[in-house]
Amino acid sequence: MSTAANYDVRHETLYEYSGEVVHSHQLLHLAPRESDHQSCSAHSIQIDPPPGNCSKDFDTFGNPVMRLEFDRPHRRLAVTSMATIEVRERPHIGSQGDSWERVRNQLAYAGRPPGAARLEALRFRSESPHVRIKQVFTDYAADCFPSGLPVLACAEALTQKLYKEMTYAPGATTITTPLLEVLEKRRGVCQDFAHLMIACLRARGLAARYVSGYLRTIAPDGAKALVGADASHAWVAVFCPTAGWVEFDPTNGVRAGTDHITVAWGRDFGDVSPLRGVIVGGGRHTVTVRVNVRVV
């Protein structure tokens, strides 16, 4: 019997500027993405000050986005996203199946059409701005990729390795911290865990994508609360030709389940940042983010 969880999610972002922002454009990834295991029954966004122009669209990865233009001076920007979401249990997929070498070879260029699923996977096999392919990542994860081991078993082993060897340390890194430094210090937050896992997988020729979203804030009775709640969270989806995309959360050492609420996915954080933009003026700024995920 499948299970499901229903949530009300509130995501508040406040930018405060030392001077007036004369003009700005903002791109928002805040609308939850629909999928086989997730549906959104209501979603709204409150914006103060109101934008001069606002349009809804989809990005190149199929994520819903909102584009805003502010053409009047302002010294603060408040964006509040509210959603009601049902998350259903993902299909149970074991760790058997094709070896990681076979999957790697299937994703390599073969001079013939790869098919829609593999063509999509190829978008997540190469370097991206926050995930560089280096020999050091291959070496670090070598014990997780013995010859002939199924690709999902390798991903499971890598998830556990990062969970045990990395320390969750908010404030130890920023989005500009190089991944090599993260690996050296073994400290970071969920986006670092996800980027490092993706780097290790892509260094082996495998396809992995970055998933952004939220975690259930309060754990069920008797369960341990997951690390990374009360903020945006990130985890990893690994491509297996026989199973599709299977999601792993290296920050918590688990597979994604009904506690994980998906907003968007891309090559790395840069593709799915909740808010990003270009501003004229403003001077220095501070940003405050609050996330609350309440079980309905």
Classify residue 229: in a domain, yes or no. yes
Q: What is the mean pLDDT of the chain?
A: 94
CATH code of the domain in which 224 resides: 3.10.620.30
* pLDDT > 90: percent of the chain: 87
Span 64-90, pLDDT tens digits: 999 999 999 999 999 999 999 999 999
- Domain of residue 36 covers 4-88+274-295
Q: Note whether 82 and 213 are same-domain residues.
A: no
pLDDT of residue 56: 97
CATH code of the domain in which 74 resides: 2.60.40.2250
Residue 175's CB: how many other CB atoms inside 10 A?
Answer: 13
Q: Note whether 237 and 261 are same-domain residues.
A: yes
Classify residue 93: in a domain, yes or no. no
> pLDDT at residue 96 above 90?
no
Q: Note whether 212 and 282 are same-domain residues.
A: no
What is the SS3 assignment for 63?
coil
Q: Note whether 148 and 257 are same-domain residues.
A: yes
Classify residue 240: in a domain, yes or no. yes
Q: Note whether 268 and 284 are same-domain residues.
A: no
Q: Note whether 118 and 210 are same-domain residues.
A: yes
Q: Note whether 106 and 156 are same-domain residues.
A: yes
Classify residue 94: in a domain, yes or no. no
Q: Note whether 109 and 82 are same-domain residues.
A: no
Q: Note whether 109 and 66 are same-domain residues.
A: no
> How many structural domains compose the chain?
2
pLDDT of residue 1: 44
Kindly provide the residue ranges of all beta strands, DSSP E only, lying in the chain, ordered along the sequence. 4-28, 38-48, 53-58, 64-70, 74-88, 167-168, 187-188, 208-215, 233-240, 244-249, 254-255, 260-266, 275-281, 285-295
> pLDDT at residue 224 above 80?
no
Classify residue 166: in a domain, yes or no. yes
pLDDT confidence band for 106 (50 / 70 / 90): very high
- The single-letter DSSP state of residue 60 is T
Half-sphere CA count of 92, side-chain side, radius 13 A: 3
pTM comes to 0.94
Q: Note whether 236 and 105 are same-domain residues.
A: yes
143-147, 240-244, 248-252: least confidently modelled range: 240-244
Q: Note whether 250 and 121 are same-domain residues.
A: yes
Q: Note whether 76 and 132 are same-domain residues.
A: no
Residue 91's CB: how many other CB atoms inside 10 A?
Answer: 11
Nearest alpha carbon to residue 268 among 205, 190, 172: 190
